[in-house]
Amino acid sequence: MISSSRQHTLAGEATLEGIGLHTGVHAQLRIFAGEPNTGYVFVRTDLEGAPEIPAHVSNVSETRRGTTLQFGEATVHTTEHVLAALYASGIDNARLELNGPEVPILDGSALPFMEAIETAGEAEQDEARRFFKVRKNISYRGENGVEMLIVPLEGEEFKVTVMVDYNSPVLGTQHARMENLGAFKTEFACCRTFVFLKEVASLAEQGLIKGGDIDNAVVLAERAYTEAELNGIATSLGRSELMGSAEHPGVLNPSELRFSNEPARHKLLDIVGDLALTGRFIQGHVLAARPGHAANVAFGRELVKAILSQEDLPDFRTDRPSLMDINDIAAMLPHRYPFLLVDRIMDMDDRSITGVKNVTMNEPFFQGHFPNNPVMPGVLQVEAMAQVGGIFALSTVEDPENYSTYFMKIDGVKFKQKVLPGDTVVFHLTLISPIRRGLVNMKGRAFVRGELVSEAEMLAQIVRDRAPKDRE
């Protein structure tokens, strides 16, 4: 679980080097601190001008057997393992300097990266950490039975459940489940990438796996292979021989699988690395059937759409402690029954406020609007919104009991849905511009069950009504 509310980066430097899985090029990777709100940024130090490549789904250019990022003319291959390590380590911002085209494959897992990051240590930064709380199901369906779904969770965990089915006698159907990111290092980070021996020659023809070997990938043989067949595969890779033996179906590697379901666990590892490209710590449960890098990235793009649509939305949970109750509100606002239309203030910071109105059948305005079809008047929705904004405005002065806020202008009023008895309305207001000379300009939105019901832009002025008692 990523519990800290502040962003983190590396305290020191992590350095790793090795051969790239697909390019076969030896490279060194240096990972060190990144500035707040920059995310993960690759830097190709071997290219003129040391171009930067932000690690974001919008910059994914290739997903064949790995995730390739491109920005401008600069690319970096096989990014998923190091990104999974950074993400699971709770690192928000990092610069990754690479003097070659591909991140070293090392042993084919994320564990060496996690160990190097752990050695470098973490440092807390001042900026607030960026989360994405899943509020409704988001799904993706691809070819060949690929399905990915994320569903809301009661808590703040990031869970992943994976099912793979390769219709293979040596692999078959496997599943893996991660309950939270805290389990990633011990249960998933060490799981290696895998390949079927029958695929090796074809992948080599495509210009891939030039650096592949049994020391950095699990190689699965679905049948026995003759020495001549193995020599032919070795030739396609540009080698004199293939290490290992395939006299019987099974794992070609001399070492055993690290888990009986290591391939499924590695697929889960890849999901973590690819979803790190969303730029948010996700709170929700991912369910994936037959995933791969192409599906992971496509699904990540759907998540980014949801993130952008929910940007600056309030926390809709109303079953949590409030910041101000009705007594606190009455001490600040001059409004009284039947015109006090805010019940609780849930959140407030230097640019926004969230308040709640519980609408009951006993509201006096339902007597005339309308007796047989009760609907909360739009003008009172705006008034309640303004009262929440008034609390924000008055909280900026030392003696709010001596001030009031008055409307100067209302623009862009829109009503999307009816508000009915039994609804809990969540009002969220955000500053449009800094408060100057007592003028407060805010954008207000009202939500019921997470759906927008009304919105408006309001300009108000903070006015002193009376002098403090000790000055009277």
Catalytic residues: 293, 369
Please give the sequence-ordered ranges of beta strands (E in DSSP) within 34-134, or none if there are none. 40-44, 52-54, 60-62, 68-71, 74-76, 94-98, 122-128, 131-133
Cα separation, 28 vs 103, in Å, equals 8
Residue closest to 78 by CA, chosen among 38, 34, 18 = 18
CA 84 to chain centre: 12
User: At 215, phi and psi to the nearest 5?
Assistant: -90, -5
Strands 194-196, 218-221: pairing is parallel
- Yes or no: say if 160 and 272 are a contact pair by the CB < 8 Å rule: yes
The full length of the chain comes to: 472
Residue whose tokens read 């309950």: 179
Structure-block tokens of residue 145:
């039975």
Structure-block tokens of residue 138:
């988001």
Cα separation, 464 vs 404, in Å, equals 6
Omega of the bond leading into 338 within 30 degrees of 0 (cis)? yes
Q: Please give the angle made by the CA atoms of 345, 281 and 12, to the nearest 5 degrees.
A: 115
User: Which residues, listed in sequence order, are joined to residue 54 by a DSSP beta bridge?
Assistant: 41
